[in-house]
A and B are shown apart, each in its own frame.
Chain A
Amino acid sequence: MNEAIIKLSAQGVNLWFGNKHVLKNVTVTFPEKQVTALIGPSGCGKSTLLRCFNRMHDLSPDARIEGKMMLETQDLYDKKISVTEVRKRVGMVFQKANPFPKSIYENINYGLKINDIPSKERPAIIERALKESYLWEEVKDELKKPATRMSGGQQQRLCIARTVALRPEVILMDEPCSALDPISTRKVEELIVQLKEQYTIVIVTHNMQQAQRVADKTIFMYLGEVVEEGKTDDIFNHPQKELTKNYVSGHFG
């Protein structure tokens, strides 16, 4: 774990929404090909931090960001890098499954078209992406079906397939299981563990058990600050700080 390469990092990041100081001097690192969980009570800024990494805050005019966000040696907020390239390299899966109101096939095809992948290569990529998200067996005969008619868990796995189809380097997941039933949740968690062989994954979760099941590293945030980070096992079983101990043992949050 110590030799792991740092894939993604934030260095002294501050973020304001209007006058509200949401992220306070956040410095964190995410090791390559591992799952890192961001935990903390609601409103602690973990989703906000996650959305910094694929520049989703570019869309909200009142957000102001200072500090450095790095993908390896690439500054994600460098004026020379295009935001669409950032988002291709850093994919995102959202809290609520948000397939497009199109067919299952088109949901994945859309991102491929956007990124100018030749149409000859697309069917194979779509099949591979659906296989990687363990959806292929369930949907291979109904690729033309509207994605919105799938179950919630299938929709979320389709969103993951949509993301992995683009071969990103990092996948950001914002509470991907919070709207799912336990069986779907288990499938998505198994998928996350599989995906870390190829991708660096950052997952925001409210579910302590989930963090312990899937994450190699855990970062605990509180009121916009990073309180403690370390191996998941250490954070949950041997926390260094009182605040962390109280949170992971369920005293607040």
Chain B
Amino acid sequence: MKLAARETIDSFVKVVFRTTGLLVIVILGGIFVMLMWNTIAFFAHIKPLDFITGTQWNPAGSHASYGIMPLMVSTGIVTLGSMMIAIPLGIGTAAFMSEYANSRLRNILKPMVEMLAAIPSVAIGFLGIVIVGPEIAKLTHQANGLNALNGAILLAIMALPTIITVTEDALQALPATYREASYSVGANRWQTLRKVIIPAAAPGIIAAVMLGVGRAIGETMTVLMATGNASAFPKGFFHSVRTITATIAIEMGEVPYQTTHYYALFAIAAVLFLITLLVNLAGEYFVNRYRKYQAA
């Protein structure tokens, strides 16, 4: 009797876990199908070539145009800028934690870096409006500082924890014998770091950068708050830009259901999805490469 009850519970639990597991796959698949379905519907209205090469995103006018170029370039500028800040800072911090800091300092720094990842994006966006924006405006003598540079600075802050953590793991994963070998021929720490440690950890560092890029491309709230969202074709770091993510966030709330504009937003979301997917796959590929290498 008791035994039968236990077996019933066991098979019940099995069903529950199988359901939760499958549910995740169903949700992911559902999102993908919905994106693709609506994207196909969009291409029934607009030629793919016009979508890809069009230099104007103006869905509201009587001559509506759906060129993704300005949005892609905006996302590109902001991401590139953020990486130009985050990569040197992140690798530097990771190198300091792994190679220079003593274990006590490292034990303080590591959780703090991880905590940086826990700051809500809206709080960082707020920082952009009240601190970074006004400072940029003052330095560049502009009316306001809501531009690509502002977004890049904030995204750099948000991508830093990922870059630091993954890079530090990659550096720590290297066998101590590399360091000993380098020191034993008379190299100092900097020479060892630059000529032995960083080249050997390169796959891991590339993975860190890729994951950081993925984080920056997909981020919405901070860029929405900090970059000004002008829909004109972006001209540079000191101009307002409107990223793919911000465009979707701004326009989705007001768009009439099942219009070309509505489908267009799905199409740009699908493009975003593809970009982040590729970047993350590249990141995973390099992560696995350094894991394999570590095992060897």
Interface set of A (CB-CB < 8 Å, partner B): 54, 56, 59, 61, 84-85, 87-88, 91-92, 94, 96, 98-102, 110-111, 113-115, 159, 162-163, 166
Contact = CB atoms under 8 A, between A and B. Distances in A.
Contacts of A54: 184
Listed residue (A56, A84, A159, A162) with the most chain B CB atoms within 10 angstroms of its CB: A84
B221 interface: no
18 contacts: A54-B184, A56-B180, A59-B183, A84-B187, A85-B186, A87-B185, A98-B177, A98-B180, A98-B181, A100-B182, A100-B200, A110-B182, A110-B195, A111-B185, A114-B187, A114-B191, A166-B185, A166-B186
B187 A100 contact: no
B102 A61 contact: yes
A87 B178 contact: no
Contacts of A59: 179-180, 183
* Interface of B (DSSP majority class): helix
Nearest to B185: A111
Given A61-B102, A110-B195, A114-B191, A100 B178 contact: yes
A193 B180 CA distance: 25
Given A61-B102, A100-B196, A101-B200, A91 B184 contact: yes
B188 interface: yes
Contacts, number: 66
Which interface residue of B179, B181, B185, B200 has the most chain A CB atoms within 10 A?
Answer: B185
Nearest to B179: A59
B199 A87 contact: no
B180 A114 contact: no
A151 B191 CA distance: 28
A192 B200 CA distance: 30
A152 to B, nearest CB: 14
A157 to B, nearest CB: 14
Contacts of A101: 178, 199-200
Contact of A100 (B102, B181, B191): B181
A138 B34 CA distance: 62
B185 A110 contact: yes
A156 to B, nearest CB: 12
Given A101-B199, A101-B200, A84 B181 contact: no
A111 B186 contact: yes
Contact of B184 (A56, A96, A99): A56
Contacts of A110: 182, 185, 187, 195-196
Contacts of B178: 98, 100-101
B177 to A, nearest CB: 4
Nearest to A165: B185
A98 B176 CA distance: 10
Nearest to B181: A98
A84 B184 contact: no
Nearest to B191: A114
Nearest to A86: B186
B296 to A, nearest CB: 8
Nearest to A95: B177
B183 to A, nearest CB: 6
A99 B185 contact: no
